Structure 1
Amino acid sequence: MKLLETIPDKHMVSFIMETLSNRSFRLLTSNGQSSRAVEEGLSEDMSILSSYLKDWRLKLSVDKTVSSMFHLNNREATREINVMVDSARLQSQASPTYLGVKLDRTLSFKQHLDSAKAKTTACTALIRRLAGTTWGATQKTLRISTEALVFTAAEYCAPVWCRSSHVKKLDTALNDALRTVSGCLRATPTHQLPVLAGIAPAEVRREGAMLALAQKAQMSESHLLHKTITERPQRKRLKSRRPFAIQAQELLSTTPADISKASW
């Protein structure tokens, strides 16, 4: 209430409270036929944002603001985008982190999956300390701890990167965690590890997360992905691209509504 009395604008108060409490981020995007057009569009948007902040006695942190360009043109792989705001050039990053997800130029999520694999390996090492042949925690305790510690770190924002071709790197680290829970050796076939450990396969868990997101977006018209789910997806130009909309609509049309991860 005190903030509302100082700033008589409910929308601005809501923006400030959301930023302070939830550490909200804002992402500006621009499309163009050339790099020059993208730079001009983003520079214009940043100047508008800077003027808006100045009107409310706020200041944009240039040191914490970065710019990146996403494309498939390998000739400009090392090119840095030039975006200006208040006569200062924004730092250009090849792999920026947005809401905990590392992005790369081609959106292959290779860097993010490498980081997730390292976190999964570190968490598996902690679980391994609880396991032993003659001592340690029970299998139920190991299973619950693995799901809470290892799989939680490995499946963060899974609907975003689960279609990446580099996801097998993460599955390798998860198989080590399943071996620790089940007590199996290296020679055990990997497709039997989820059954012996009592944990749903990683692929099934990722599809379940994507299906839950697609169902939520389909039911709510105010959801950001509602049009992406309900409208007809655009035709794929490249076979290597795996859009979220196409796979989400396939899951919605082929998966029963009452199915769950326990059905595997």
Structure 2
Amino acid sequence: MEINMKVSGLLAVFLLLSADKIGFGMSHPKPGCRYPPSQWCRSLEIAIECKVQKQCMEMNAIRPNQTVPPVSVTLYYESLCPACRVFMSEQLFPTWTMLQDIMTVTLVPYGNAKELLSANSPFTCQHGEPECRGNMIEACIIHLTGHSALHVIYCMASAANVLDAAEPCLELYAPSVSWSSVVSCVRGALGYQLMHSNAVMTRALNPAHTHIPWVTFNGEYTEENEDKAMSSLYHLVCQLYKGVKPPACTGAPVRVDRSFC
């Protein structure tokens, strides 16, 4: 599922740093705001509820030209793969946090799994049954949480225990989605449908994947781009974006008019 949140990473950082100066206190929105900072500018209604409409309007003025398509990054991975977890926590999430206005992220948890014609055990995974369960949990979370999915998956990947972290990460970053709905997805037909879709997407890769993490850009894979992504995904996304580079890519100073007390 494509994850294309509206608020930029720079905006989220700005709002958090200035929150206590505009009346939030302790860098958190007032109790009436039920959304995490990453979603405060996703819509006018949310901005008004969280009392940041002025700040959102100011930051909108420096966003890249939305007529230029963003860089599409798709990660094919496994929930318990150590290399996948490192790439997620050290490259993908930090890059997306800063450059989400010029990139979209699609997560496909499946990797080196195999789909079997068995009702009792329809999938086998490289790191055993716990990884199959982790893949399905993450597939359900991606399906159910939408805009908050990357936050939740990053939280799980960077935790000491991926599976144990699933419920608290969901509660932290997508509190409107109940853990029971994830469990129902995992145990029901929906979870298997989502995993089958991921299997189909993974098998359709051309060239076929030989390892994970496997990353495509705008639907294409090259070994050169993969090498660049593993060392500095941030610079690669800036390089691949065809529009006017945002300040996060160029390092250009941006002046935002705002008052202080």
- Alignment TM-score > 0.5, same fold: no
**Normalized against structure 2, the TM-score is what?**
0.22
Larger radius of gyration: 1
Higher strand share: 2
**Normalized against structure 1, the TM-score is what?**
0.22
